[in-house]
Amino acid sequence: MADILADLNNEQRQAVEAIEGPVMVIAGAGSGKTRVLTYRVAHLLNQGVDPFNILALTFTNKAAREMKERIIKLVGSADAKNVWMGTFHSIFARVLRSEAQRIGYPTNFTIYDTDDSKRLIKNIIKEMNANDKVYTPNYVLNRISAAKTNLITAAAYNQAEELLLQDKMAGKPHIGEMYKVYQQRLFKASAMDFDDLLLNTYNLLKDFPEVLLKYQHKFQFILVDEYQDTNRVQYMIIKQLAANNENICVVGDDAQSIYAFRGANIQNILNFKRDYPDAQEYKLEQNYRSTKMIVNAANSVIVNNKDQIFKEIWTQNDEGDRIRLIKANSDSEEGALVANSIFETKMNQQARNDAFAILYRTNAQSRSLEEALRKLNIPYRIYGGLSFYQRKEIKDLLAYMRLCVNNNDEEALRRVINYPARGIGKTTQEKVIIVAEQRDTTQWQVYSNPQQFSLGFNSGVLNKIDAFVTMIRSFSAQVKKKNAFDLAKLIAGSSGILKELYEDKTPEGISRYENIEELLNAIKEYSERETPLIPGQELNAEEQEIKTLDMFLQEIALITDADTKDDDDRDKVSMMTIHAAKGLEFPYVYVVGMEENLFPSIQSLSSRPDLEEERRLFYVALTRAEQKLHLSYAETRYRWGNLTICEPSRFIEEIDEKYLEFPRRAAPVQPSKPVATLNNPPAFQKKNLKKMNTMVLPGGIIDPELIEKVQPGVEVEHDRFGKGKVISVEGAGASRKASVFFKNVGQKQLLLKYAKLKILG
């Protein structure tokens, strides 16, 4: 093991070797955080720690797989494969499989994804005759999720006067009741949503001391990745499990805490030493990813945050190029300039498309960038689109599989009861739903025993129901006998889905059929794996030989966005929100839309904590770049159909100007007709803009005398609106505005210091 530790720098090695007691590792961007976690687990194993006593929690399955692969290379697979390593949700789903009966659940409970939850909530909203414009499934689910994240059950929610008052003030007084019904339906369907996996684990450990003691004894060494992203329920579970021996190591970077909107609490990492006063702290400050220019620029930004653990990130990498600023007249021009820059760099540096990433604050910004890339035939992929497992045909087949594993899964039952069409129509389904509610039973029980519930169906309908129930029961009987692929193939064929899609010869139908084929390929690959992927699974030799369908369903139910692989993952430019980019790195990065009210977001400007989170988000964006970084902004941008004058982001101002490359404007083309140009400044100097109390880059008016020449009756020209005449002028100096009537678009009010007008004649 000594040779392995020799590969670490001094700080990394100290963090790896400190295996006793609480440890906090503050790992700056690109400092080898994953390396420390990997070597720490390997070091524990080499010290004789039983792998079954190690719990390593990550935020993506991808991170867990990569770490496990590295550990296998270091110490061999025999030990590494038995470490309990995985996401919070996958690890605690495994715990709940073993302990579920204590809280009234069967071991084969279904895990609802976000789409399943929204469908269920949509049905509840409809049944309660609530206004679906007021109570949208998104809003209701987010409210419920926030409650669960903060350890608030449905019963507690409906007794919390403050929460009920908040809902009433928001014009949504029935949220508490919807939460209650939602949980009742989940329980009846033997299902849990993602948040339940954590909340139920917390309650299990809290309410059953013997269970807590069991897992405290089992998990003698706990490691937590990305600790700054933990929410309250995750924090409390970790604290419960670590309370006995306090051999807990958390790794993270407070400067990259960017998920408050998901419930992440930066105070968890900031207050670690308060929770564990004798904790050892190690700082990884050497960046192995980026150039000196990028690292120093990022430092000059993040230093402006008040709530942080101070560190000075440094690197021995090359000096690198300055960060290039790109100024555009409009969002469409911004897209063109970025695409052109990528094209030029590809030609000059012989770079691949996948060396480039375009990062933006919101998904809506991608449109103009996509159009520009398409015009230059630059292939791209967008992260965060519809994932493979969310496509309708995939969800349909998975619903059959879920129903076979758990007959009480009502969302799965609703989805497949009449797909493909088998004559069990909407009227029949609604009658079953009503009877199930009245008798306080499941829909499956009603379908399984229609005569017992006196539904009054004719023999034709009864025969169709009986055929469906018999088919599902035949599948269910084989869940533990057949491997996942063989049963999945049987379900796809016997259910009629394959036949239905095969007969659809439209391009869309062919694509859907191919997607089903790809799903079966994925199940085949899973069935042939040497070891199961479910973290912490302890199987005997006989069980190792078969990977069952219920095991596969649990794996894909817990897939995160970062785990999804694009169907066509060839050489493409990556486009994504900055949130989605966390943990990734690219040689060339473009951060677009660097404008006030866009980045930082207008919603973040009302409080210091929110603004500091936006600054951390910008820090994450900067530190994704390895070699060259570009920042772009537009002077005008369409929002909700209206053209908006934009001001460059304050975050650009916070970068020390010695790290920036300011654009120079090309010499103007001499027009055939003499014009007085208001927007042809000399080479940009940041200090000149500071005097104007704005961050306008080249193109804005800097001559007050020219501004004064804009008077009523003067004819002007705008690069977007065309020719027009000034109707009126108000204000003075930098605040001077003009109302201009344009022949093509009508009257517009323009702030002259941004307007880029030409005075004609």
Q: Report the distance separating Cα 116 and Cα 189, nearest Å.
A: 12
Q: Report the distance separating Cα 582 and Cα 60, nearest Å.
A: 12
Q: Report the distance separating Cα 190 and Cα 330, nearest Å.
A: 53
**For 455-505, what is each residue's pLDDT tens digit?**
888 889 999 999 999 999 999 999 999 989 999 999 999 999 999 888 887
Listed in sequence order, the residues at least 6 apart from 49 whose beta carbon sits closer than 8 Å to its beta carbon are: 220, 221
Q: Report the distance separating Cα 477 and Cα 469, nearest Å.
A: 12
Q: Report the distance separating Cα 147 and Cα 159, nearest Å.
A: 13
Catalytic machinery residues: 33-34, 225-226, 256, 624
Residue ranges in the chain whose pLDDT is less than 70? 1-3, 384-387, 529-545, 559-569, 639-642, 663-706, 733-735, 754, 761
Structure tokens at 138: 């998104």
pLDDT value, residue 680 = 37
pLDDT value, residue 152 = 95
Peptide bond into 600 cis (omega under 30): yes
Angle, in degrees to the nearest 10, between helices 507-527 and 484-494: 150
Listed in sequence order, the residues at least 6 apart from 430 whose beta carbon sits closer than 8 Å to its beta carbon are: none
Q: Are 90 and 56 in contact (CB under 8 A)?
A: no
Q: Are 38 and 12 in contact (CB under 8 A)?
A: no
pLDDT value, residue 568 = 52
> What spatial distance separates the first Cα and last Cα of the chain, rounded to whole Å?
81
Angle, in degrees to the nearest 10, between helices 459-476 and 392-405: 80
Structure tokens at 631: 């920042």
- Taking alpha carbons only, the member of 54, 52, 41 closest to residue 1 is 41
Residue 631 β-bridge partners: 325, 591
Three-class secondary structure of residue 717 per DSSP = strand
pLDDT value, residue 541 = 42
Instruction: Scan for tokens 């080898």, then name that residue.
Output: 32
Structure tokens at 181: 């019904």
Q: Report the distance separating Cα 409 and Cα 702, nearest Å.
A: 66
Structure tokens at 88: 């919070």
Three-class secondary structure of residue 732 per DSSP = coil
357 φ, ψ (degrees, to nearest 5): -135, 140
- Taking alpha carbons only, the member of 550, 429, 430 closest to residue 488 is 550
Residue 737 β-bridge partners: 730, 751
Structure tokens at 282: 């190690």
Residue 758: CB atoms within 10 Å: 18
pLDDT value, residue 34 = 86
pLDDT value, residue 72 = 86
Note the Cα 286 to chain centre separation in Å.
27
Q: Are 369 and 575 in contact (CB under 8 A)?
A: yes
Instruction: Output Rg (C-alpha) for the chain, integer angstroms.
Output: 30
Q: Are 93 and 197 in contact (CB under 8 A)?
A: yes
pLDDT value, residue 563 = 58
Helix (H), strand (E) at residue 544: helix 541-544
Task: Please tell me the total number of residues recorded for the chain in this structure.
Answer: 761
Q: 704-710 long-range CB contacts below 8 Å, 24 or more apart? A: 704/733, 706/676, 706/678, 706/759, 707/678, 707/733, 707/736, 707/752, 707/753, 708/736, 709/676, 709/759, 710/678, 710/736, 710/738, 710/752, 710/757, 710/759
Q: Report the distance separating Cα 333 and Cα 726, nearest Å.
A: 26
Q: Are 133 and 139 in contact (CB under 8 A)?
A: no
Largest distance between two CA atoms of the chain: 92
Structure tokens at 140: 């209701």
625-639 and 642-645 as β-strands: parallel, antiparallel, unpaired?
antiparallel
pLDDT value, residue 736 = 77
Listed in sequence order, the residues at least 6 apart from 63 whose beta carbon sits closer than 8 Å to its beta carbon are: 34, 225, 562, 583
What residue type is assigned to position 45 of the chain?
L
Listed in sequence order, the residues at least 6 apart from 34 whose beta carbon sits closer than 8 Å to its beta carbon are: 63, 66, 67, 70, 225
Q: Are 228 and 202 in contact (CB under 8 A)?
A: no
Q: Are 228 and 582 in contact (CB under 8 A)?
A: no
573-577 and 625-639 as β-strands: parallel, antiparallel, unpaired?
unpaired
Structure tokens at 268: 């968890």
Question: How far is residue 623 from each of residues 30, 562, 572, 613, 633, measured CA to CA in Å?
Answer: 8, 18, 21, 15, 19
Helices (H), 100-174: 114-127, 137-149, 154-157, 161-169
pLDDT value, residue 668 = 31
Helices (H), 390-535: 392-405, 410-416, 426-438, 443-448, 459-476, 484-494, 497-502, 507-527
